[in-house]
Structure 1
Amino acid sequence: MRLVSWNVNGWRAIWRKGLRDWVAATRPDLLCVQESKTDPDRLPATETVLADYDGFWAVAERPGYSGVTTFSKAPCRSVATGLGIPRFDREGRVVVTDCGDFDLYNVYFPNGKKDRERLAFKLDFYSAFLERINARVAAGRPVVFCGDVNTAHQAIDLARPKENAKISGFLPEERACLDQWAAAGWVDSFRHLYPDTVRYSWWSQRTNARARNIGWRLDYFWIHESLLPRLRSAGIATEVTGSDHCPVWLELD
């Protein structure tokens, strides 16, 4: 089973840039999109439907903001949006699909920006999310989660760690949250397979950073440790353009 996650930085833009053709060529079993930034009810069906896929959308109350969408080739047993916490759910950040033998969480985690209030919101979201997925595992349900985490976990995960040590996305308190995930039995699939590989998934559009590969690894697939025997491969498709992020992928037996 091949799963792909991609922050597309706007559904309409990536659609015009050929998303449909890319999906037809790559044929993932599950495609998780972040920052769709649109309400499918406001678009023609021809611009929201991928052939042979069912689509499930979480839409923010604020127009043109946030939003995540999961596309599945196989029927999902159930679908839910959000964490059940209104202040998070109004931003359209989570789609949960029952994929048969595991739950898949497609998540656009908050950006801390330069605003301490938004940083607190981000850290609260991390905490609530960890509580939710830990509860699912405790109930006997394996979990995979993916998306734009908006934090580079380790120094290897960004090109200039020293210069960004006081910037949201690499703050100690943000990284500590990811440490908590790992301590709770969650595994960063790419880093598990490639502990020393330098690879990024996001580049600033302001400074021609992608051409110089001055990037950050912000996009992840995390799996619960109980799923490690099924982990076949994981990667980052840096060759794919169309957004300031590139797709990341995971293969499970």
Structure 2
Amino acid sequence: GIHFILSEGDCDSSLLFMRIITWNINGIRTIPKYHPWNAMKTHEDVLNHLGADIICFQEMKSSRSALPKATALPPSYHSFFSFPTHKTGYSGVGVYTRPTPLSADDRLSSTRDVDPTSAPLDVDAQVLDSEGRTLILDFGLFVLVNVYCPSDSASQADPERDAERFRFKMAFHQLLKERVRQLVHLQGREVVVVGDLNACADVIDHAEGALIEARGEGGFWEYEPRKWLRDWLVDSSLAVGGGCLVDVVRKFWPERKAMYTCWNTKMSARASNYGSRIDYILVTPGLLPWIKAADIQPDVKGSDHCPVYIDLHDQITLESGVFVKLADVLGNPEPGAEPPRLAAKFWEEHRQRGVDTFFGKAGTKQVVALKKDSPVAEMKAPSASPPEDIAKRERDILQSSSSSSSCLPIAAKSPSPASTAKRKRNGPTPSSSSSKRPKNGQPTLASFFGSKSASASQSSVTHSSESTIDSDYQLAVALSAAESVPSSSPPNPHTARAWTTILAPLEPPRCSVHDEPAKVMTVNKPGPNRGKTFFVCSRPVGPGYDRGRAERLREEVDPRWKCDFFRWAADVRAEMVRKEKDK
């Protein structure tokens, strides 16, 4: 049933409401890494803390097989998921709901009632449904569409793939719009569309919106996904496509600027609120009397997006004077009603089974018939080598390494009967010589020592390859027992100073515009520069920050924000060494 929320500190039942929340979580496994979620014991605790009756997630980045049972089946909620059919750990949407839906679907191209593919598409509808981007749940009062629209992901590294993904994105938008149109106009249903639409509805929904619009030549609306979303909205002053949905959050906050829901966390853009509003809750006009409040939750961490919510009155009076309770018109009114078959509770892997179902009749008899004198009962765990054996082994290594004439192989300890039995059960085990011998061309630790004694030690370790003791470990024990030989030449002060410079921590350079210490960052992108460090301006990004002459007109640059300073840490280190050398 519906779990109505009562405003904190209020006792008036008229202040009861039901909440619907949408959140791009950027991976179901990332939430527990953030506060306050990391202090919660179960996934249901996380859901309860969000304080909503219907919770819609996008970018689950999981799969049906990888989803833990506690995440898939929280006791107080019905759960529904849609995952990609091919690629795992990508996309995916989920809905957790207390009210029981009447039906559920995970396809935009469903032909259950009508064919929503009447409009021509550039991409096959089944392909559009293959990435786990949609869940459609019928709650009686309205049809809920939880959607994760594709991003264009323009990488500029593969223009052909970028163009293909953009065609996919626009075809998906077209199919989504057509499905909603048919729900509204052909079936007469009220609709709630929630999720990450990966598009901005207006200029003020983008941190760079004003700058983009000022450039002219189509400006902000030249980007097709923005035009698509603008024309989908019924109350947009610029709409030209006969929209049928209302941007609820913007309706409650018509003049509010910087109401962003997504930030580039790699640039620390959230701290300066340099982002965009691409997460929405859109409703048909007939549902507006039910909407009590709508807003974003930018203080909720755990993703590069923040949650968006609407609150519904628990009861309203229609224009006709009829009094209606939300509980009477939302979801399946029958107590204990089963959810649709798409629910995760019907997944085969989560059904409870008795232990006897895993054994046939013969297998069960065999298990019961096991006696104490059976081979399985007599098997014991292999015993570990006693400490005195380890000490003796180390003494043998030291004695062999101190001998200058010859080094004999160290005999391997005879396996105990228990360990022999274990190898027979598990099949043949590779000999220690094959597992410890380095690959062709792969140097061992001994190869880095060039002295005569080190060479002898290396020879000793090489000849003892049949031993179960690692060769590098033998050398380490031998070297630790050897007396250090004093150097015959005095230390070079210039060499010492050079090493001090090389090993000293880098002093951050100062950026060229603000003359402030730069901050160090590391390349995480796969490629030849992965793992390298570099310095950039430490100021936060903001509207008009300097992205370089190739991407930012000089007249658009706002010096209050991050400049385009960049230096590799290796170049900074080399400059330090040169300066020290010139002294």
TM-score interval for Structure 1 and Structure 2 normalised by the shorter chain: over 0.9
Larger CA Rg, structure 1 vs 2: 2
Paired residue type of 1:208:
S
Contact 1:107 / 1:147 at 8 angstroms: preserved in 2?
yes
1:79 aligned onto 2:104: yes
Whole-angstrom distance in 2 between the partners of 1:236 and 1:104: 19
| Structure 2 match to 1:152 | 200
Higher relative contact order at CA 8 Å, sep ≥6: structure 1 or structure 2? 1
> Could you say what secondary structure the match of 2:188 adopts?
coil
TM-score (norm 1): 0.93
1:100 aligned onto 2:140: yes
| Structure 2 match to 1:44 | 68
Whole-angstrom distance in 2 between the partners of 1:159 and 1:20: 35
1:91 aligned onto 2:131: yes
| Structure 2 match to 1:2 | 19
1:140 aligned onto 2:191: no
How many Å apart are 1:20 and its aligned residue? 4.0
Contact 1:203 / 1:214 at 8 angstroms: preserved in 2?
yes
| Structure 1 match to 2:232 | 181
Whole-angstrom distance in 2 between the partners of 1:116 and 1:175: 17
**2:269 aligned to 202, 205, 209, which one?**
209
Whole-angstrom distance in 2 between the partners of 1:118 and 1:226: 35
How many Å apart are 1:118 and its aligned residue? 1.4
Contact 1:97 / 1:103 at 8 angstroms: preserved in 2?
yes
Whole-angstrom distance in 1 between the partners of 2:292 and 2:163: 40
1:128 aligned onto 2:184: no
TM-score (norm 2): 0.41
| Structure ranking higher in strand proportion | 1
| Structure 1 match to 2:223 | 172
> Could you say what secondary structure the match of 2:192 adopts?
strand
RMSD: 1.9
1:244 aligned onto 2:261: no
Moved beyond 6 Å, runs of 4+:
none
CA deviation digits over 1:137-183, x for unaligned, max 9? 121111001000101121110111256679xx975311110122113
1:13 aligned onto 2:37: no
| 1:45-60 mapped onto 2 (5 Å cutoff) | 45-60=69-84
Whole-angstrom distance in 2 between the partners of 1:133 and 1:70: 19
Alpha-carbon spacing, 1:109–1:194, altered in 2? closer, same or farther (3 Å) = same
Whole-angstrom distance in 2 between the partners of 1:157 and 1:151: 9
> Could you say what secondary structure the match of 1:90 adopts?
helix
| Structure 2 match to 1:197 | 256
Aligned residues: 251
Contact 1:164 / 1:170 at 8 angstroms: preserved in 2?
no
Q: Which runs of 5+ in 2 are unaligned?
A: 1-17, 38-42, 110-124, 155-161, 234-241, 314-583
Give identity over the alignment, percent: 35
> Could you say what secondary structure the match of 1:136 adopts?
helix
How many Å apart are 1:43 and its aligned residue? 3.0
Whole-angstrom distance in 2 between the partners of 1:218 and 1:241: 17
How many Å apart are 1:5 and its aligned residue? 0.2
| Structure ranking higher in helix proportion | 2
| 1:14-29 mapped onto 2 (5 Å cutoff) | 14-17=31-34, 18=37, 20-29=44-53
Alpha-carbon spacing, 1:16–1:100, altered in 2? closer, same or farther (3 Å) = farther
Range 157-166 or range 78-87, more displaced: 157-166
1:234 aligned onto 2:298: no
How many Å apart are 1:220 and its aligned residue? 0.3
**2:150 aligned to 110, 121, 124, which one?**
110
CA deviation digits over 1:203-225, x for unaligned, max 9? 00121100011011110000011
Contact 1:151 / 1:170 at 8 angstroms: preserved in 2?
no
Range 152-161 or range 215-224, more displaced: 152-161
Range 156-165 or range 170-179, more displaced: 156-165
Alpha-carbon spacing, 1:3–1:230, altered in 2? closer, same or farther (3 Å) = same
Whole-angstrom distance in 2 between the partners of 1:246 and 1:58: 21
Whole-angstrom distance in 1 between the partners of 2:200 and 2:230: 11
Whole-angstrom distance in 1 between the partners of 2:221 and 2:84: 26
